[in-house]
A and B are shown apart, each in its own frame.
Chain A
Amino acid sequence: MALEKVGLATYRTSGVFVLGTGAVVGPKEGHGPLGPHFDRVWEDERQGHKSFEQAEQALLAEAYDVALQKALARWSDIELVLGGDLLDQIVSTNFNARQHGRPLAGLFSACATFTEGLGLGALLIAGGGMNTVMVSASSHHQTAERQFRFPLELGYQRTPTAAWTSTAAGAVVLGSKSGPLAVEAVTLGRVVDIGAQDPNDMGSAMAPAAFDTIQQHLKDTGQKPGDFTKIFTGDLGHFGIRMLTAYAESKGLRFGSELDDCGRSLYDAESQDTHNGGSGPGCSASVFAGPLARRLASGEWERLLLVATGALFSPTTSQQGESIPSIAHAVSIRARRGEAQ
């Protein structure tokens, strides 16, 4: 275990491993192109629970269970839970702590919460303080709709840039015990406000924040985008990725085919009518914990830069005409296939 600061804002972590991942998603996500790569797919959004809020908590609890099972760990091994969600007072994460009873540090970076947790967990372990940490993020389409938008049955037209909050939860057990994936480096992001005001277009609001963090990470570590097999942003979506590519190019950074986005990959835009693509903290969490981690573990991919992106507004600030501050946190992950584990 060691922690080394490189450049201005990046920390190289050694001796930090992904021991187990759990990804549990709703039916729509299960029918998407990534469906077969999640650990569990719910048959309906409620799964017999009294409210959608309780359903989201149960979704997260299942992700925790799967991650622990795969890590061959028990709750008593977990020294700290780092996690968050979209709901007011991050209730999904906080209420789950009633059951697991482990120390909890609740986080909020909106949809960037997952890499905030993953990064912090890696720093804590690399710094020699902790051995095993649980990281999680979740979201639920119906709970987010009622908090940020309209009642479900209300008819209205979504704009082409509107995101679809995913029903998804992802959990990762990080530890100092050797595992198939290693966390290499962490860059926590700055808040970037490009003046965007449309809550139905978070992709373009968040793209400059994603650029800021990616550029900082590349500069600090002396790499270029092509050094990664894949760079996955969180939920910029179809439009946000185009904006990121154009904005980065105007700043002299050129992405290739390695750039992709969790939200864009989660649904089939044509048949699932999801417009800009998936969003929500659970989006990047489940896409990493399911499909991306599998590709790394199988040796198909070697190195991944995961950059979850968050739009840090509330319905109140939006109604008051404030712009949308955004943030992105980057975590670099390497597959250890073939290395002595």
Chain B
Amino acid sequence: MNQEQKAYQELTQRMMPRRPIFRNLLWAFFVGGMISEVGQGIEWFFMHHGHLTAKQAAAPTSVVLIAVGALLTGLGWYDRLVKRAGMGGALPITGFANAMVAPAMEYKTEGLLMGIGARLFTVAGPVLVYGMATAFIVGALRYLITGVA
């Protein structure tokens, strides 16, 4: 980068409109917190009415949250929520559902195979790849250290 470019990038940084970080943080905290609270409620429901342990209740809870996230995406509401809440809406499992359903809706026009089939994971792909890779490494480490699979 030459002197002129450097000076311009500095000017850009100086004049750049500030992101409303405090407002964004509050939104993320409350929306992310609300989704987590709802998830906790669902888990308790399965524990008390389904007589499941906390560990057993985790899977059906995730399924319900994914279904709700998918439904809200289909109705066109979830993107409006995340627009305000940022990571508060994208990070919970409902955000994962959004990342899977949005491409499915989007690429319908390119057909089942090369549209939905090929591009379903365009957004969630990196999360799955690195999520699974991390899980594998952490699991292997745990096995090596504690001997528990």
Contacts and interface: CB of A to CB of B under 8 A. Distances in A.
Interface of A: 50-53, 146, 150-161, 193-196, 201, 204, 208, 238-239, 242-243, 246-247, 250
Residue of A154, A201, A204 most packed against chain B (CB within 10 A): A154
Contact of B11 (A146, A159, A246): A246
Contacts of B101: 153
28 contacts: A150-B123, A151-B103, A151-B122, A152-B102, A153-B98, A153-B101, A154-B99, A154-B103, A155-B79, A156-B82, A158-B83, A160-B19, A161-B17, A193-B5, A194-B9, A195-B2, A195-B9, A196-B9, A196-B12, A204-B12, A239-B16, A242-B15, A243-B11, A243-B12, A243-B15, A246-B11, A247-B8, A250-B11
A159 B81 CA distance: 16
A151 B106 contact: yes
A196 B6 CA distance: 10
B73 interface: yes
B32 interface: no
DSSP class of A's interface residues: helix, strand, loop or mixed?
loop
Given A156-B83, A157-B82, A159-B19, A151 B107 contact: yes
A154 B9 contact: no
A195 B5 contact: yes
B95 interface: yes
Contact of A146 (B1, B17, B106): B106
A196 B73 CA distance: 34
B109 A50 contact: yes
Given A195-B1, A196-B9, A201-B12, A153 B106 contact: yes
Interface residues of B, number: 39
Contacts of B19: 159-160
Contacts of B62: none
Given A146-B106, A161-B17, A239-B15, A155 B82 contact: yes
Nearest to B4: A194
Interface in B19-33: 19, 24
Contacts of A158: 83
A6 to B, nearest CB: 27
A177 to B, nearest CB: 42
A50 B9 CA distance: 43
A195 B4 CA distance: 9
A246 B102 CA distance: 40
B12 A157 contact: no
B115 to A, nearest CB: 11
A153 B103 CA distance: 8
B39 interface: no
Given A151-B106, A239-B15, A246-B15, A157 B123 contact: no
Interface string B74-116: 1010111111001001100001001101110111010000000
